[in-house]
Chains A and B, each alone.
Chain A
Amino acid sequence: MSLWLVLAVNSVTLGGLLFLLSAGFSLIFGLMKIPNLTHGSFFMLGAYLATTLIAHGFDFWTAAVVGGLGVAAFGGIVERFILRRLPGAELAQVLVTLGLSFMIADVCLMVWTGDPIRIDTPPALRGATAFAGLAFPTYRLAISGIAVIFAAVLWALLDRTRLGAMIRAGVDDPAMARVVGIRVSRLFTIVFCLGAWLAGFAGVIGGPILSVYPGLDQEMLPLALVVVILGGSGSLLGSFVGSFVVGFLYNFGQAMFPELAYVVLFLPMLIVLVVRPQGLFGRQAI
């Protein structure tokens, strides 16, 4: 398999992970106007929780779901007891979520030490799959598949259900949504937990590729930021397209200009900001 094809597969895989991470980030940002800087920490925390669960004999998928649930519960607590007290105070929200991310990082360092931990690929997905005469790593294909499935489910949830309609109403006009009887504050908790779960789950299924190590949170957070700035906040399609764009930029940038990988990554974001500040698919400027 040629280098380019390997890079392309890796890009699609990273894009899939980023979609899971940034869909929640974008929804939280779009609906609650909260810049959740703990989102990278949710990703890392999910992966760490799963390593412990797997060490206690749980299988990979259980660990992924339960690890995600642990993160979702934690996110719910953060939303209910801290962010709930700071409505509309953007600076306070930035500082609290940033402070929490430092605390989570330090606690993870204390509990799981500084050594990188590998999560083993689930046995059923090891090896390669032959497709069109080429061999693709099965697990990476599976991640892309999971991302697409989640995109479809999230789209259906947002576009086809009552809950989704309420969330969309909340994103568009929270005051009006309240007036017509939607309990926006309960929506906030639901969306925050959902976003946290997606991030935690993404951290676990990203584990076999990225492994888990201190600093993973600070590495993923800017990527999620770029996706949301690129795609537009509160837009699922924006997250989807943005994730794969960033996945490709990051992998190809690292391969072609290893020293400037970050610049390659952020340059398109800056261009989008200058040309279209609301993002490619956003309706309102951030």
Chain B
Amino acid sequence: MKRLALVVALALAATVPLWVSGTYYVNIASQILFYAIFALGINVLAGYAGLVTLGHAGLFGIAAYAGARIMNAGAGHLAVAAGALAVTLVAAAVFAALALRGTGLGFVMITVALGQIVWGVAYRWISITGGDNGISVRGRPSPLGLSLAAPTAFYWATLVVFLVAVVSMAIFAASPFGASVCGTRDQPRRMNALGYHVWMIRFLAFVFSGFWSGVAGLLFLYYNQFVSPQAVALTASAEALLMVISGGTGTLLGPIAGAALVVIMKNVASAYIERWNFVLGAIFVVIVVFMPEGLVPGTARLGRWALAAVHPRAAPRLGAPGPEDA
């Protein structure tokens, strides 16, 4: 059953450009994919390691800015990708070393501060980052001679990277390292007593998470062919975190569903109302107050609860495991 669902999902994802009409929707699908990569990256920290970060848009943006600078210096696309990711990895290591001086709230505050530094540099250091005008780049890469200029081609390329990210996450979650990361979240003292180096495990999780944030940032740069301080603002970090928590933290599918939800909502909402920030804020408040376990399980629970209120007798059957759940 699970395998069948996986095959169907893969087939659907691979054929999106064939059955949706118009480049607008293909582009939205591409956005969902690279934001899902970003959300998966954040999920390593926020979900598995239990370290909530509000500075990852900084890493996302560092990759995009580094890529843009290297590209505008005339380097090839391989050098752009390698250079941008190398810069992001170094930045992630520095971020991790600083942020891991605190745990819990301290960690959150330090990541906010680090994210704001990146924003401040992007906004103010005009000679490097172009300030508020941002940096424009020309051209998407053509790996193996296939041009990615068309929205459809770009979608498929993003899908490939996305699948690599998902597989890497699945391997990570199933690996002993993944288990030890969860251990540092649940029982850091016991892990320490068992001889695990808690700090180093968290550090590596941070760098791993930063790597995929950087990949997402690079895809973002290629998608928009433009990067500006907006990409590294606190709002961007908050949006990404919303993707993770709305889908459910510490799961593989949660951040992907959350990314799809937020990207679609953002596009739909901004088509009808100007107040995306208000909607974003309201969703945060509603989710946290009413559905602390995440939007997808939370909606299901509220739905069951509402059903139970209407049909008291039908309720228990809905909660019981059905044959298809096995």
- A contacts, CB < 8 Å to B: 29, 33, 35, 37, 82, 85-86, 89-92, 94-96, 98-107, 110, 218, 222, 225-226, 228-229, 258-263, 265-266, 269-270, 273-274, 277, 285-286
Is B117 touching A263 in the complex (CB atoms < 8 A)?
yes
Is B277 touching A105 in the complex (CB atoms < 8 A)?
yes
- Interface-central residue, A95, A259, A286, by most chain B CB under 10 Å: A95
Bound Cα distance A101, B277 (Å): 10
State whether the Cβ of B282 lies closer than 8 Å to any Cβ in chain A.
Answer: yes
27 cross-chain CB contacts under 8 A: A33-B105, A35-B109, A82-B285, A90-B108, A91-B245, A95-B245, A96-B285, A98-B54, A99-B280, A99-B285, A103-B277, A103-B281, A110-B275, A225-B112, A226-B113, A229-B110, A259-B126, A261-B120, A262-B119, A262-B120, A262-B121, A262-B124, A266-B113, A266-B116, A270-B98, A274-B101, A277-B101
Considering only CB atoms, which chain A residue lies closest to B107 in the complex? A286
Segment at the interface with A among B8-16, B142-150, B234-242: B234-242
Bound Cα distance A222, B112 (Å): 8
Considering only CB atoms, which chain B residue lies closest to A228 in the complex? B109
How many contacts between A and B, using CB within 8 angstroms? Answer: 126
Interface of chain A, main secondary structure: helix
Instruction: Quote the shortest CB–CB distance from B203 to chain A (angstroms).
Output: 15
Determine the chain A residues whose CB is within 8 A of the CB of B278 once the complex forms: 102-103, 106-107
Instruction: Quote the shortest CB–CB distance from A27 to chain B (angstroms).
Output: 15
Bound Cα distance A96, B116 (Å): 19
Is B116 touching A222 in the complex (CB atoms < 8 A)?
yes
User: Among the listed B109, B233, B284, which residue makes an inter-chain contact with A225, where contact means beta carbons less than 8 Å apart?
Assistant: B109
Q: Which of B93-119 contact A (CB under 8 A)?
A: 98, 101-102, 104-106, 108-110, 112-114, 116-117, 119
Is B108 touching A103 in the complex (CB atoms < 8 A)?
no
Instruction: Quote the shortest CB–CB distance from A112 to chain B (angstroms).
Output: 15
Bound Cα distance A258, B318 (Å): 62
Is A222 touching B102 in the complex (CB atoms < 8 A)?
no
Bound Cα distance A110, B276 (Å): 12
User: Among the listed B106, B113, B125, which residue makes an inter-chain contact with A222, where contact means beta carbons less than 8 Å apart?
Assistant: B113
Determine the chain A residues whose CB is within 8 A of the CB of B104 once the complex forms: 90
Determine the chain A residues whose CB is within 8 A of the CB of B174 once the complex forms: none
Is B102 touching A286 in the complex (CB atoms < 8 A)?
yes
Besides A229-B110, A262-B124, 5 more A-B contacts (Cβ < 8 Å) are A91-B52, A222-B113, A226-B113, A260-B121, A262-B121
Is A102 touching B124 in the complex (CB atoms < 8 A)?
no
Instruction: Quote the shortest CB–CB distance from B268 to chain A (angstroms).
Output: 17
Considering only CB atoms, which chain A residue lies closest to B281 in the complex? A102
Instruction: Quote the shortest CB–CB distance from A98 to chain B (angstroms).
Output: 6
State whether the Cβ of B288 lies closer than 8 Å to any Cβ in chain A.
Answer: yes
Determine the chain B residues whose CB is within 8 A of the CB of A82 once the complex forms: 285, 289
Bound Cα distance A96, B177 (Å): 32
Instruction: Quote the shortest CB–CB distance from A30 to chain B (angstroms).
Output: 11
User: Among the listed B106, B113, B280, B289, which residue makes an inter-chain contact with A96, where contact means beta carbons less than 8 Å apart?
Assistant: B289
Determine the chain A residues whose CB is within 8 A of the CB of B125 once the complex forms: 259-260
User: Among the listed B105, B113, B233, B245, which residue makes an inter-chain contact with A90, where contact means beta carbons less than 8 Å apart?
Assistant: B105
Considering only CB atoms, which chain A residue lies closest to B280 in the complex? A102
Is A258 touching B241 in the complex (CB atoms < 8 A)?
no
State whether the Cβ of B21 lies closer than 8 Å to any Cβ in chain A.
Answer: no
Instruction: Quote the shortest CB–CB distance from B19 to chain A (angstroms).
Output: 35
Considering only CB atoms, which chain A residue lies closest to B292 in the complex? A92
State whether the Cβ of B308 lies closer than 8 Å to any Cβ in chain A.
Answer: no
Is A102 touching B108 in the complex (CB atoms < 8 A)?
no
Bound Cα distance A14, B289 (Å): 36
Instruction: Quote the shortest CB–CB distance from B52 to chain A (angstroms).
Output: 5
Is A103 touching B105 in the complex (CB atoms < 8 A)?
no
Considering only CB atoms, which chain B residue lies closest to A101 in the complex? B281
Determine the chain A residues whose CB is within 8 A of the CB of B280 once the complex forms: 99, 102
Is B127 touching A259 in the complex (CB atoms < 8 A)?
yes
Is B113 touching A225 in the complex (CB atoms < 8 A)?
yes
Type the 1/0 row for B295-322, where 1 means its CB is closer than 8 Å to any CB of A.
0000000000000000000000000000
Considering only CB atoms, which chain A residue lies closest to B129 in the complex? A259
Bound Cα distance A29, B105 (Å): 10
Is A273 touching B102 in the complex (CB atoms < 8 A)?
yes
Considering only CB atoms, which chain B residue lies closest to A89 in the complex? B292
Determine the chain A residues whose CB is within 8 A of the CB of B285 once the complex forms: 82, 96, 99-100, 103
State whether the Cβ of B78 lies closer than 8 Å to any Cβ in chain A.
Answer: no
Is A286 touching B289 in the complex (CB atoms < 8 A)?
no
Considering only CB atoms, which chain A residue lies closest to B233 in the complex? A218
Known: A82-B289, A222-B113, A273-B102. A99 touches B282 (CB 8 A): yes
Is B284 touching A98 in the complex (CB atoms < 8 A)?
yes
User: Among the listed B112, B116, B126, B288, which residue makes an inter-chain contact with A86, where contact means beta carbons less than 8 Å apart?
Assistant: B288
Bound Cα distance A89, B233 (Å): 25
Is A273 touching B98 in the complex (CB atoms < 8 A)?
yes
Determine the chain A residues whose CB is within 8 A of the CB of B275 once the complex forms: 106, 110
Bound Cα distance A286, B120 (Å): 24
Bound Cα distance A92, B242 (Å): 11
User: Among the listed B98, B113, B114, B284, which residue makes an inter-chain contact with A102, where contact means beta carbons less than 8 Å apart?
Assistant: B284
Known: A92-B288, A266-B117. A274 touches B98 (CB 8 A): yes
Bound Cα distance A47, B203 (Å): 42
State whether the Cβ of B283 lies closer than 8 Å to any Cβ in chain A.
Answer: yes
